Amino acid sequence: MGENRAGKVFLVGAGPGDPKLITVRGMEAIARADVVVYDRLASPRLLRHMKPGAEKVFVGKLPDKHMLKQEEINQLLVDLASSGRVVTRLKGGDPSVFGRVGEEAEKLAENGIEFEIVPGVTSSIAVPAYAGIPVTHRDFTSSFSIVTGHEYPNKTYGHVDWDHLAKASGTLVFLMGVANIGNISEALIRGGKNPETPVALIRWGTWMEQRTLVGTLENIPVKVAESGFSSPAVIIVGDVVKLRERIAWFEKRPLFGLRVLVTRAREQASELAGRIDDLGGEAFEWPVIRTVPLPADATAGPLASPEAYDWLVFTSANGVRFFFDACVAAGVDVRRFARARIGAVGPKTAEALKGRGVLAEALPSAYTGDELGKTLASLTKPGDRVLLARARVAGERLPETLRAAGAIVDDLAVYETLLSDEGTEEALELLKEGKLGAVTFTSSSTVTNTLELLRKSGWERPEEALAGVPAFCIGPVTADTARRSGIDVAAEAAEATIDGLIGALVAHHIKNGGDA
């Protein structure tokens, strides 16, 4: 490839849309890149794996509107790599299947630029599978053909052997052919294909917008016109389409079609986001808060006499993590709290304690600060000393309840929550395009910070940006904050846990016929 080792280009297949279908090598290329050049068929969620400071360049092609000509993209890759940068060219599906990767690779080779082709999961196979249509099946066919829906440079099928295709017994898969479905059907029937041959069109396959239209060669053009079905879509022709009635799976999952804005802190969002994805939804993480420990000198005071406490109480998993970190920073051996009984607001907090080898003995029946206060008030004696390990800014009702019961309460701030603007640009784009079906709030801070980021983005009345997006809150305090802020609260978790929040999402989505 020549002696010019200035930079390198990864030509990466991003898969059909679902970001989890990218290859490990493809993900590595994104993480290494100084510049990512991407198109509209590559999931924007993949861009979150770019390293800090890396540049994004959109060269996507929209129907009837090419933002950059292919020759310009080829030269762009050369120019970027020649400047000494690592470039990842992210393309939907597999770059070798009508992805024009050969042209890009040729241009790079001509200019002595090092490159690597990273295959991707092709939409020609993955999209039908997500619609319950395997391209081969022992009872129907053992072969399939992949055909471009429009010929380069957008000619009308001058080089397709329609007679041969029509007589083939295998499955036919057409990419980029929705606008020409009439021509495709007519040519296949004219070549001898049975007009009753099953046909399926799958739009935005593997995305939340996935929609499937089924018909026959004879009636599918009319169905497409009547339904307004548009690109991007994959067309499947063959008897395997009949299998969809029995094995369609993706569109039957309880949260299918629901894109959820998750506003939880990045380090805590993974569980909620993972549960949403597993149930067929799509979680878009917008971590509007970030948690940071307070300096050791800010927490050393209350830790000076650990033996004095009768109770050590935690109101969150964050409190557990940062408390133990604060003890280490202050040089305090946690065994000095041996006489203290342990209280936790709920099972996740108790689980975080268990991970540290500590078992909580006091859990409220409902997992809220108010209920924790009532539980502890019934267990403490007048004069008991209670240490609360929690955030710097926290509600006063818990310590007030304990003091009213005669306890002596020390409030130990071990961390604080700050505003985070990570992912704001992408979240605003989804809001403007109306692509969000729900938003989740797991604390009052997530509510106030979301509104503050919207205000900073130009919304004079930030709650209006969320109009029409149902909000789901983890508990009554969070829900009350949201309602007082003018946010439409669709549901409140029956139990203040991630399970409860997921349950509220599923129940609401199903009740509304799959549309939150």
- State the CB neighbour count (10 A cutoff) for residue 24: 8
Of 211, 210, 213, 217, residue with least CA distance to 238: 217
In DSSP terms, 151 is beta-bridged to 155
Of 326, 305, 333, residue with least CA distance to 389: 326
**First-to-last C-alpha distance (Å) of the chain:** 53
The amino acid occupying position 296 is A
Helix axis angle, 266-278 to 498-511, nearest 10°:
40
Relative to beta strand 198-203, strand 233-237 is antiparallel
C-beta separation of 472 from 436 below 8 A: no
Catalytically active residues are 39, 61, 176
Here the tokens at position 431 are: 């809001």
Secondary structure in 3-state letters for 341-395: EEEECCHHHHHHHHCCCCCCCECCCCCCHHHHHHHHHHHCCCCCEEEEEEECCCC
Produce one character per residue of 242-266: b if its CB has 16 or more CB atoms within 10 Å, e if not: ebbeeeeebbeebbbbbbbbbbbbb
